[in-house]
Amino acid sequence: MHDQPIRAGDPPTAKQDIKDQGIVLMHVLHRHPVLLTIPDLAREITSGSDQFAETDGVERAICDLTGVGLLHCPSGLAVPSPAALRFLKIIQEGA
């Protein structure tokens, strides 16, 4: 679903955080209406890894996307917001 997995290693930069947010958002949008728990989402994006360093970027991206209103996480499920779903519709049909 994404070109490159989120990697551990170097400290995150603002550019990497934005990239990670894009990977997470597009993954959630493409899997919608399938509901994924946050750990399941992290495993899918990091190719099944349970390593903290590898899942940290995903979890940080989820927090950031929730903070700006593009994801909701009721009961630990990653759900795209209406704004995120509208964005997907725009890029699929409007471009």
pLDDT per residue as tens digits for the range 75-90: 999 999 999 999 999 9
Residues 35-59: pLDDT tens digits?
999 989 999 999 887 777 678 889 9
Average pLDDT over residues 17-28: 95
Q: Which residues pair with 36 in a beta bridge?
A: 78
List, in order of start, the domains of the chain with CATH numbers: 14-94 (1.10.10.10)
Which of 28, 16, 11, 13 shows the shortest CA–CA distance to 62?
A: 28
Longest dimension (CA), the chain: 39
Between CA 86 and CA 28 the distance in angstroms is 13
pTM value surpassing 0.75:
yes
